A and B are shown apart, each in its own frame.
Chain A
Amino acid sequence: MNNVLEYLEETVLRVPEKTAFQNDSTAMTFSQVYSSARCIGSFLINSGYCCEPVAVFMNKSPQMIAAFFGVLYSGCYYVPIDEEMPQHRIKLVLDVLKPRFMICDEVTMQLAEGVSGCEISLYSEVSNFKADESALANVRETTLDIDPIYIVFTSGSTGIPKGIAACHRSVIDYIETLSDALEFGGNTVFGNQSPLCFDACLKELYPTIKFGACTVLIPKHLFSFPVKLIEFLNEYKINTICWVASALSLVSGMGAFDVLKPEYLHTVAFGSEVFPIKQFHRWREALPNATFTNLYGPTEATGMSCYYRVDRDFEDTEPIPIGKPFPNTGIMLIGEDGQLAKAGEAGEIYIRGTAVTLGYFRDPDRTEQAYVQNPLNNLYPETVYKTGDLAYVNERGELVYVSRKDYQIKHMGRRIELGEIEAVCNATDGVEIACCVFDDANSRIILCYSGAVEAPFLQEELKERLPRYMLPHSVYKLGALPFTLNGKIDRNLIKDTYAKGDKL
């Protein structure tokens, strides 16, 4: 198997009329997804697009997913753009991407016209193009498993987002091993939480087409209302969820289980950030027969690289391990000296294997810094991904995550470079200099700055320029920022002063 579309093609023969993807208003069967995708692919080929990025800017919907596969049928690679991304960020993404073509829906069309600078068509048009069987077959023959499938953008410390390109081979490797570990199958009903513009949704989309399973896209507003959310899980008989820990914590933390429990849920995976153990216990209590799996992995290694299925009890102070790498993925913990960290000591996680992605799109410099030669191999070229995450191996032989090495943080399951928030602030009129710190204990982003602009005005300005999850919770205007002796902003002092959880 060399192309992810083979999953769809085998499944559509088996269960054509089964619902593949649905949200609270529309649903698409495998046969509909297949036909629409082939029409979109034919349109792109006949319009002269080939082996290039195609932006998909739509409201989260089954149609958006069909558009992804449509782009793959043309031999191009899809770049999902979230409906909720602020215009400024969309523009930054498009500046890196420079796509020639974008697929929109009726809602996003107007937003796109202002920023895109490329050809735009509506999904409803391109999905009604006549399928061109011979053109599709020709493209398939020349597509290799090392060709990209998608580019997803993550936060970058210079303020320019990084586009991570992943190929068929990496995604197949990931989906096969993940599906085995979490025991996905034809009866799996996924409740998707992640936006479609992140690699996190691979966990649902590709096993769905592999097994003929089903993915229900959960309306975002339900994540504010935990009891309604559980009602939704029960209504759609959702049995499998892979959510960020903060979404799970929301449900348990607000006491939703006292009112209602999920009836069908048997598989719960969580990752992308540390799951507070107290909340984890509440989940386990509510679902004593479900399996719980902790996942860890960077977008640069396709999705998740390590997993640990909870098989014992944990103390409130004990971290849940990230366990061991998936089969065909290797983890090396490298110490400060460039050698393997000693037993029990923390080292930086380096990842080897097919799941390591192709690199950052149109960004050789940053690619070179993170996709490096295996430091333990000087015999032949071998690219590994240097995560910047620290971990150690415990006495049971399980990997345990420690923290980020630098300023990159995880907040609400999203990866954020504090430097990017600073870069945006620093670019705002009336700001002299800004410093952003993360209050780990209270999970709050804190921004201090000096300059003429008033805090509420700056906050408004940031809303225009940053995605919601990157907005600082507290903003302090200072006469001047404190500096250390060697002239750097004294981040530790700022953190000690302002990160005590005291509110504005």
Chain B
Amino acid sequence: MEKLVLMLAQMHPDVDFYNCASLIDDGIIDSFDIISLVADLNEEFEVSISAGDIVPENFNSAQALWELVSRLQNE
């Protein structure tokens, strides 16, 4: 989870990713972020995030993202 937050923080050093749960709703991360994030997560955590997983619910908070990555790692 820390590694994930670190990756997010590189994109937006000013955001508190531990507590923010409206990354999509408030437009904090946008499509540019999501594209690079998916590529980086796939590489860093050796998962394969599929189109069906790329929905707003999974990207709204670092916690939700982490749950997605963990689920994919266990599959």
- A residues lining the B interface (CB < 8 Å): 220-221, 223-228, 250, 254-259, 412, 456, 459-460, 468-469, 471, 473, 503-504
Contacts and interface: CB of A to CB of B under 8 A. Distances in A.
* Among B14, B24, B34, B51: residue with most chain A CB under 10 A: B51
A226 B32 contact: no
Contacts of B54: 224-227, 254
Contact of A469 (B32, B34, B40, B52): B32
A460 B14 contact: yes
Contacts of A412: 32
A228 to B, nearest CB: 7
9 contacts: A220-B31, A224-B31, A224-B34, A224-B35, A225-B55, A226-B51, A254-B50, A255-B50, A255-B51
A8 B56 CA distance: 38
A473 B30 CA distance: 14
B13 A223 contact: no
Contacts of B34: 224-225
B36 A473 contact: yes
Contacts of A225: 34, 54-56
Given A250-B35, A473-B36, A227 B30 contact: no
B59 to A, nearest CB: 8
Nearest to A228: B55
Nearest to A247: B31
B64 to A, nearest CB: 14
Q: Which of A224, A256, A258, A412 has the most C-beta atoms of chain B within 10 angstroms of its own C-beta?
A: A224
Contacts of B51: 226-227, 254-259
Contacts of A460: 13-14
Residue of B36, B40, B52 most packed against chain A (CB within 10 A): B52
Contact of A459 (B13, B35, B36, B55): B13
Interface in B1-46: 10, 13-14, 24, 27, 30-32, 34-36, 38, 40
B33 to A, nearest CB: 8
A477 B10 CA distance: 15
B13 to A, nearest CB: 5
Contacts of A224: 24, 30-31, 34-35, 54, 59
A254 B55 contact: no
